Amino acid sequence: MGRGTIPLQISNKVEGQERAGVKGAPMRRIGAASYVLGRLINRGFFMKKCMFGLVSVATIAMATVPAEAATYLITYKGHVTSGVDYTGDFGVSPGSSLVGLAYTAVYTLTYPLAGALEYNDGVLHYVDGGVTGGGSPSPVSAIFTMNGISKVVDGGYRGVASRYGGNGSQIFNEVSEFHYSSNGQVRKHIDSSVVRDFFSTFITTIDLTANLSYIVDKNRDRTLGHFEFIDQNFQTSSYTSSSSGSFDVDSVTVAPAPTAAVPEPATWAMMLAGFGAMGAATRRRRSTAVRFA
């Protein structure tokens, strides 16, 4: 046996208990290594070294990991100002007017998104993607809800989020989805915009992810919006879905999407050290005889 090696022997009592399936055997399988770990912790050696190493690794990890994409919800609310539901998409009789119905358009922005187009000159800031963005990934998708019925637009054809901070400041979002085949086509499109008059500014930062909660001033602000949902069958010359119209905007908010809490690297380091200490304490409480040769 090499010099400096610490030989360990486990008594026959332990082996017998393991073979007999004594309750708690899984904990005993921690083995002699946990005992040695506990001895080192008791001497203050391992705890200092382990904690220093783990916290150092966690610190390095936090410093070197690049910013990860996060999701944000951009929500517009208002009423339809013109439009017809030709096929009853939104729970009304086919051919009925949609004027006056309340709607909610929720755009989901993923930012930063690798590969998406981005422009920022200090006054105008936008991200763009999809087929019309040179095939880059779309950073925006949306859900349009009216009369209790929701339509999803994936933004694969185009997804845009922008803010303009100059006079006549503006927040604008757009998503489009387009699928074409020999049998038919599916077109989905939503765009929403709030433009303040040229004498004041309501966009105080062009950071696309900055929180925003704005109630539109109907006397001073201009709002624009459009929606279209078309599902056409070329062979039968019929429409499975057909509704379109325009809307105004009453309010717009921007906020992070709710997420589940994830432990920080430093927290993981503390947890790992805690597991080691717990194992050592469990080992000390055992009545099993463990001796150094």
Q: Is 246 helix (H, G, I), strand (E, B) or coil?
A: strand
Q: How far apart are CA 85 and CA 245, in angstroms?
A: 9
Identify which of 226, 220, 222, 95 has the alpha carbon closest to the alpha carbon of residue 153.
226
30-47 burial string, b = 16+ CB within 10 Å, else e?
Answer: bebebbbbbbbbeeeebb
* Residue of higher predicted confidence among 245 and 3: 245
Highest averaged pLDDT of the listed ranges 16-20, 90-94, 235-239 = 90-94
Lowest mean pLDDT among 42-46, 168-172, 252-256: 42-46
Domain boundaries, the chain: 8-66+261-292, 70-256
* Residue of higher predicted confidence among 288 and 151: 151
Mean pLDDT of the chain, nearest integer: 80
pLDDT beyond 50 at 61:
no
- Quick one: what percent of the chain has pLDDT higher than 90? 57
pLDDT beyond 50 at 6:
no
Q: Which two tokens mark 261?
A: 């809490």
Residue 139 and residue 146 in contact, taking contact as beta carbons nearer than 8 Å: no
Residues 6+ away with beta carbon under 8 Å from 240: 87, 231, 232, 233
Q: How far apart are CA 149 and CA 145, in angstroms?
A: 5
CA distances from 215 to 76, 146, 194, 204 (A): 10, 20, 10, 15
Q: How far apart are CA 131 and CA 266, in angstroms?
A: 41
pLDDT beyond 80 at 48:
no
Mean pLDDT of 4-32: 42
Q: What are phi and psi of 56, to 5 degrees?
A: -65, -45
pLDDT tens digits, one per residue of 262-288? 556 556 556 655 655 555 555 555 555
Burial (CB count within 10 angstroms: exposed 0-12, middle 13-18, buried 19+), residue 78: buried
* Residue of higher predicted confidence among 151 and 259: 151
- Report the amino acid identity of residue 108: T
